[in-house]
Amino acid sequence: MTALLPPASRRPASTTGRAAHAAAVRRLQQSYAALPPGSPVRLAKRTSNLFRPRETVAGSGLDVSGLTGVIEVDPGARTADVQGMCTYEDLVDVTLAHGLVPLVVPQLRTITLGGAVTGLGIESTSLRHGLPHESVLEMDVFTGAGEVVTTSPTEHADLFTTFPNSYGSLGYATRLRIELMPVTSHVALRHVRFEETGPLERAIAEITDTGALDGEPVDLLDGTSFEPGHHVLTVGRFVDSDQPGSDYTGAGVYWRSVAERTTDLMTVRDYLWRWDTDWFWCSRAFGAQHPLVRRLWPRRLRRSDTYHRLVGLDQRFGVVDRLDERAGRPARERVVQDVEVPVERLGEFLDWFDEAVGMRPVWLCPLRLRDSVPGTNPWPTYPLEPGRTYVNVGFWGAVPVGPEAPDAPLNRAIEARVAELDGHKSLYSESFYDRETFDRLYDGPHLAAVKQRYDPHDRLTSLYDKAVRRR
């Protein structure tokens, strides 16, 4: 297999080292000790991939500035020790130098490994490898008590299994040992079109059950639903090639190619970040897909964190809302969510979504928990059923709803509909559950018991307060 080195525009692949990591953990502990007794504990970080507003909290946060790198890669064991605040962009640059990548690499470059494990992380390998927390072998967690606790399936297992989907309410990962997998130089893609959701559901089920479609092996699977009657599954295989492959960081736009092409070839690195360049399709809101604007928009700024900062500025100053008001347009509700529904309910959800929300395209990503025994619940706060195939449906935009916009009627309706379909909603964006419903869906009593064990003085904000009360 071909090892892929970082491009010249990026810094060379390197590791942080264990001594530097130990020093960074000490600084983290010192910053904790400097906080006033009884004050809330938060991270001092400038960037985020969360989409839920929260109350502003005065004071300093935990110093995680030295926890942003890769400690060590073991090519023989196919593992890596990684600091919790390391972005997948930096992690992949290091592992690709060994011809390896994490089993699941979320679509956006600046998602951190710790963030994906404690929150949401999913990609086209999730049909085989589940979610990022399932390939964690061992993890150090900085708890609300100010202690670093090493966790694994056999050591502090309650914290290890409850940490996914806890969003910092149980602590912060400082070091994670993860599995890696070998990759080839390129990914060959085939875009398969469907007019009806029934055949779409059956194709997803066939691929997850057999690892193939029409007798052809499938290593990677995601999809795009452009509109009713126009759905595309993108199936991928790892291949070696001496061809350059398609580049969608220039004039081309990846999501448009899905609708226009039947086959494609990309380098592994370009494939991993294919959605990041235009933040799926969301960059069109900033004009970045217009040919003239695209020529003027610096290539180095065609990335999701650029658009995320622009959204943050708009939310801070209310530019779009004021423009809508002046133009007499109805107020818009922001609908930014990822939900998971059982594959056999996908068509039912899409039909309802078209009628109730009317936002397209939407992203489709099949997943199945990895190596889990049906009837068990290995991840209490990420309550997916082992052995069952789900489809993550991602939709990100704003919908005109009028004066009811502040009450979030569409987001509330989505929560209710997903629950009716035996699905699951991620918590990186706004949530509106009452406490009883939230505890039922996310095993609140178990989460509270684990929190009490590792955060006895309640220094960390609870998951319900974070996700729903925006604290």
For 191, list phi and psi in degrees, rounded to 5: -100, 115
Both tokens of residue 232? Answer: 């595309």
Using the structure block, give the residue that is written with the tokens 């995320």.
308
Structure tokens at 246: 């398609």
Q: In which element (H, E) is residue 139 found?
A: strand 136-142
pTM of this structure: 0.93
Furthest CA-CA distance within the chain: 63
Average of pLDDT values for 239-248? 96
Tokens representing 73 are 């890669």
CA distances from 3 to 45, 269, 402, 470 (A): 33, 11, 53, 44
Per-residue tokens: 275: 């959605």
Q: Please classify residue 227 by burial: count the beta carbons closer than 10 Å to its beta carbon, then call 0-12 exposed, 13-18 middle and 19+ buried.
A: exposed
pLDDT tens-digit map of 252-284:
999 999 999 999 999 999 999 999 999 999 999
The pLDDT score that the predictor gives to residue 449 is 98
What's the pLDDT band for 79 if we cut at 50, 70, 90? very high
According to DSSP, residue 87 is labeled: B
Run of H or E including 265 = strand 263-267
Name the residue with tokens 């499938």. 218
Query: Is the peptide bond prior to 244 cis by the omega test (within 30 degrees of 0)?
Result: no
Q: Find the range with the poorest average confidence among 18-22, 81-85, 291-295, 306-310.
A: 306-310
- Domains of the chain in start order, with CATH, are 18-182 (3.30.465.10), 318-432 (3.30.70.2520)
- Measured CA to CA, the distance from residue 148 to residue 156 in angstroms comes to 12
Of 201-205, 267-271, 317-321, 337-341, minimum mean pLDDT range: 317-321
Phi and psi based region of residue 99 (left: phi greater than 0; alpha: psi -120 to 50; beta: remaining): left
What are the Cα distances from residue 444, in Å, to 380, 436, 448?
9, 9, 6
Q: Which of 83, 74, 86 is nearest to 23 (CA)?
A: 83
What is the CA 53 to chain-centroid distance, rounded?
18
Which of the 8 DSSP states describes residue 344? G
pLDDT band at residue 327 under the 50/70/90 scheme: confident
pLDDT higher than threshold 50 for residue 9: no
Q: Is the pLDDT of residue 417 over 90?
A: yes
Q: Which residue has the higher pLDDT, 55 or 1?
A: 55
What is the structure's pLDDT at 52? 58
Q: Which residue has the higher pLDDT, 47 or 268?
A: 268
Q: Supply 89's token pair.
A: 């962009």
Q: What residue has token string 């569409």?
A: 410
The count of other CB atoms within 10 Å of the CB of residue 206 is: 14
How does pLDDT run across 141-193, given as a tens digit for each residue? 999 999 999 999 999 999 999 999 999 999 999 999 999 999 999 999 999 99
pLDDT bin (cut points 50, 70, 90) of residue 321 is: confident
Looking at residue 160, its pLDDT comes to 98
**Do 301 and 292 form a contact (C-beta atoms < 8 A)?**
no
> Is residue 380's pLDDT more than 60?
yes
Instruction: Name the more confident of 135 and 3.
Output: 135
The per-residue pLDDT for 311 is 84
Partners of 82 in the β-ladder: 70, 176
Query: Mean pLDDT, to the nearest integer, of 415-444?
Result: 95
The confidence score (pLDDT) of residue 376 equals 77
Q: pLDDT, tens digit, for every residue of 99-158?
A: 999 999 999 999 999 999 999 899 999 999 999 999 999 999 999 999 999 999 999 999
Helix (H, G, I), strand (E, B) or coil at 285: helix
Tokens 């299994």: give the residue: 161
Phi-psi category of 395—alpha, beta or left, where left has phi over 0 and alpha has psi -120 to 50?
beta
Average pLDDT over residues 198-216: 96
- Provide the pLDDT for residue 5: 42
Three-point CA angle 66, 461, 312, nearest 5°: 65
Identify the pLDDT of residue 51.
59
Pairing relation of β-strands 230-239 and 220-227? Answer: antiparallel
Percentage of the chain lying above the pLDDT 70 cut: 94
Q: Which long-range contacts link 130-133 to residues 24+ away (Cβ below 8 Å)? A: 130/104, 130/367, 130/368, 130/369, 130/370, 131/104, 131/164, 131/367, 131/369, 131/382, 132/102, 132/103, 132/104, 132/106, 132/178, 133/163, 133/164, 133/379, 133/382
Work out the pLDDT band at 4, boundaries 50, 70, 90.
very low
The helices-and-strands tally (H runs, E runs) of the chain is 16, 18
Average pLDDT, rounded, for the chain: 92
Give the pLDDT confidence score for residue 7 in this predicted structure. 44
Residue 37 pLDDT: 84
Classify residue 13 by its DSSP letter.
P
